Amino acid sequence: MQIRYEPVLLDAVVSALIQEREATGDLHFTHEYHALTDAAYRLDLAAREEAFQQIHRRLFRRWNLAAPIEAAFTEFPELREHIQTLWVVRAPGARDEGADLQFPGRTAAILRLLPRRFLDPLSLTRLLRHELTHLSDVLDPTFAYEHTEGIPGIHLAEEPLVRDRYRLLWDITIDSRLIQAGRETVAAEAQRRAEFEAQYRGVPAPLLEKAFRRTWDMPRPSHPQLLEMATEPGRALFEAWEGTIRSLPGSRCPLCRFPSRSFRQGSGEIPLPLVELIQCDFPEWQPELGACERCVEGYTVCQGTR
């Protein structure tokens, strides 16, 4: 596997390390840097840029900043054998850090990191271990991953919510597996529980805890399982609650199929005349399945005109 580093990342990492050490009074790295770069300033612009890139690559290696990345792949020999080229680039922000395989072929991968990650090798190792598990899952045929531009059957407006849910559920199962294997990762169980609760606000606490526990303890899921849990949480993630399938905040309305944060559900919230009117258009629909406020209001208006 060949590892290629983006020049702008190497520049930022070298500069960040020098600044960090200068703040503690350690000028060794500063002197070493200037010993190499002073001569480069006398070159013309094009040659100077190439010279600085070579200096940054040399110092990046000399200061052992590449070690965590190279060491991380020893834990994932299947990735090292399969991936031909790994591109390591600068992440625009914290939410952009991560690793992805390039399609088609999956023989190239891209790793996006913040420069400051390299100043904390332990933090970088934890992140790499977590992200490389993502790649390992995708390459496993039993994970059954399918690369698509959109999410089949999902409205464009709903995709960001579904992707956030999918990523969180996958992250939970990854960190659980790593912790159970005795390997440090980016988030402990308590942090993932808090993120899970924030994602599914409005769900009754007992149901929330039961669903999180089941997700944390489950064996590695497949891509179709995760996708179903993200798109249909009422059925696939939270199952039945008190004999009904709850319409969760952010779920799709079974009538209009748009995501909604507010639902009415059951005969206590949807009167019988309105139920009968809805069933004229949706014969298989039952009040226990719920309907969004907008659909209920729309059918209420229709009821008044009949």
Q: What is the pLDDT of residue 239?
A: 66
Give yes or no: residues 53 and 114 share one domain. yes
Q: How many domains does the chain have?
A: 3
Minimum mean pLDDT range among 141-150, 185-194, 228-237: 228-237
Domain boundary among the residues 120, 142, 175 is at 120
Q: Residues 85-111: pLDDT tens digits?
A: 999 999 999 999 999 999 888 899 999
Cα distance between residue 263 and residue 253, in whole Å: 8
In this prediction, residue 74 has a pLDDT band, given cuts at 50, 70 and 90, of very high
In this prediction, residue 244 has a pLDDT band, given cuts at 50, 70 and 90, of very low
112, 93 in Cβ contact below 8 A? Answer: no
Reported as half-sphere exposure (CB side, CA atoms, 13 A), residue 273 has a value of 7
Instruction: For residue 89, list its beta bridge partners.
Output: 112
In a domain, 251, yes or no: no
Give yes or no: residues 163 and 89 share one domain. no
With 0.95 as the threshold, say if the pTM is over it. Answer: no
Domain ranges, residue 190: 156-237
In a domain, 46, yes or no: yes
Give yes or no: residues 25 and 99 share one domain. yes
Packing angle, helices 159-180 and 205-217, rounded to 10: 60
Domain boundary among the residues 187, 221, 237 is at 237
Q: Residues 199-238: pLDDT tens digits?
A: 888 777 888 899 999 999 999 999 999 998 998 887 777 7
Cα distance between residue 202 and residue 179, in whole Å: 29
Domain boundary among the residues 73, 93, 120 is at 120
Give yes or no: residues 225 and 270 share one domain. no
Give yes or no: residues 288 and 188 share one domain. no
Q: Residues 247-288: pLDDT tens digits?
A: 666 677 889 888 777 788 888 889 999 999 999 999 988 888
Give yes or no: residues 287 and 216 share one domain. no
Give yes or no: residues 199 and 163 share one domain. yes
Give yes or no: residues 75 and 170 share one domain. no
In a domain, 85, yes or no: yes
Give yes or no: residues 6 and 116 share one domain. yes
In a domain, 248, yes or no: no
Give yes or no: residues 99 and 202 share one domain. no
Cα distance between residue 23 and residue 168, in whole Å: 37
In a domain, 167, yes or no: yes
Look at residue 10 and tell me whether its pLDDT is greater than 80: yes
Give mean pLDDT, residues 177-200: 96
Please name the residues in contact with 13: beta carbons below 8 A apart, sequence gap of 6 or more: 60, 65, 115, 118
Q: What is the pLDDT of residue 241?
A: 46
Give yes or no: residues 203 and 286 share one domain. no
In a domain, 255, yes or no: no
Please name the residues in contact with 291: beta carbons below 8 A apart, sequence gap of 6 or more: 247, 253, 254, 255, 263, 264, 265, 270, 278, 285, 299
In a domain, 221, yes or no: yes
In a domain, 77, yes or no: yes
Give yes or no: residues 95 and 12 share one domain. yes
Secondary structure string (H, E, C) spanning the chain: CEEEECHHHHHHHHHHHHHHHHHCCCCHHHHHHHHHHCHHHHCCHHHHHHHHHHHHHHHHHHCCCCHHHHHHHHHCHHHHHHCCEEEEEECCCHHHCEEEECCCCCCEEEEEECHHHHHCHHHHHHHHHHHHHHHHHHHCHHHCCCCCCCCCCCCHHHHHHHHHHHHHHHHHHHHHHHHHCCCCCCCCHHHHHHHHHHHCCCCCHHHHHHHHHHHHHCCCCCHHHHHHHHHCHHHHHCCCECCECCCCCCCECCCCCCECCCEECCCCCCCHHHHHHHHHHCCCCCHHHCEEHHHHHHHHHHHHHC
